[in-house]
Amino acid sequence: MGKKAGSKILKRTMSPSFWQIERKNKRFVTKPSSGSHPSKLSIPITVLIRDILKLTKTYSETKIIIRDGHVKVDSRVRKDPNYPVGLMDVVEITKTDSVYRLVPSKKMLSPIVIPATEKDIKLCKVINKISVDKSTFQYSFHDGRTMNLDSSTNVPVGSTFKIQLPSQKVEKIIELKTNSLVVLIGGQHKGLIGTIKDIKEPSFSRPRMLDIIADNRTLEVKQELVMAIGEKTSEITIQGAE
């Protein structure tokens, strides 16, 4: 009888560099299961808790905490030790009352401690929009969520929704426009926070480019590498990104 699924482990030497794990002392590490984020852009919660946050020492200890329902991702209990967490996900360890958000950094993704008042708030970037019918648009977000809204709420791709968790109630919509505050989520300047100076419309051979003032200089980056986080100030705690 054949296997029902692929391997649940991964050679440590083949794991993404931003996992920040030891690669020589042990041979294998947990492989992320299918989920809301691509495997190359996510971290299994086991690896996050044990290897990055160092809240536990062994896989067995970590698995017990997860299986007992002490770990929430975006305000929902997750009992799969391989569940993938990614950009802007909120991870709560109820056993220690600790709340973290995964933010972009030079290392790709880094967990930072956030106030408990923010554990039910998340920013989601719109990566696609389709017309369901004459009165409804369906929005797809970077973390795999989708949301149907009345066509009167016509939000362009690239905008950010500030939502409540787990209800997904929309608190605010932040559009990519001049003077908006953004964080770079990709490229060599990941983690930098800056302000949009100019938006250059796309051409046949060139995507939409943004001029961002960050770190006392102007950077030209693709729109897909930028996420709006506020108008003048950030809607969430994001400091701590390196």
Question: For position 19, which CATH number holds?
Answer: 3.10.290.10
Torsion of CA 155, 159, 164, 166, to 10 degrees: 90
pLDDT at 203: 86
Question: Is 65 within 8 Å of 80 (Cβ atoms)?
Answer: no
107 and 20 within one domain: yes
CATH number for position 201: 2.30.30.30
The answer as to whether 185 is a domain residue is yes
The answer as to whether 242 is a domain residue is no
pLDDT at 224: 93
Q: Please report, in angstroms and rounded to a whole number, the separation of the first and last CA atoms in the chain.
A: 48
198 and 155 within one domain: no
193 and 141 within one domain: no
Non-local CB neighbours of 72 within 8 Å, separated by 6+ positions: 78, 90, 91, 92, 94
Question: Is 184 within 8 Å of 104 (Cβ atoms)?
Answer: yes
pLDDT at 221: 93
48 and 17 within one domain: yes
Report the alpha-carbon distance of residue 132 to residue 139 in Å, rounded: 10
Query: The domain containing residue 210 runs over which residues?
Result: 181-230
Report the alpha-carbon distance of residue 226 to residue 21 in Å, rounded: 27
65 and 15 within one domain: yes
- Write the pLDDT tens digit of every residue in 139-150: 999 999 999 999
pLDDT at 108: 78
- Write the pLDDT tens digit of every residue in 91-128: 999 988 899 999 998 877 889 999 999 999 999 999 99
CATH number for position 136: 2.40.50.740
Question: Is 158 within 8 Å of 76 (Cβ atoms)?
Answer: no
pLDDT at 8: 61
Report the alpha-carbon distance of residue 167 to residue 185 in Å, rounded: 25
User: How many domains does the structure of the chain reveal?
Assistant: 3
Report CA 221 to chain centroid distance, whole Å.
Answer: 19
Task: pLDDT band for 242, please (50, 70, 90 cuts).
Answer: very low
The answer as to whether 239 is a domain residue is no
Average pLDDT over residues 39-55: 86
Residue 1 has pLDDT above 50, yes or no: no
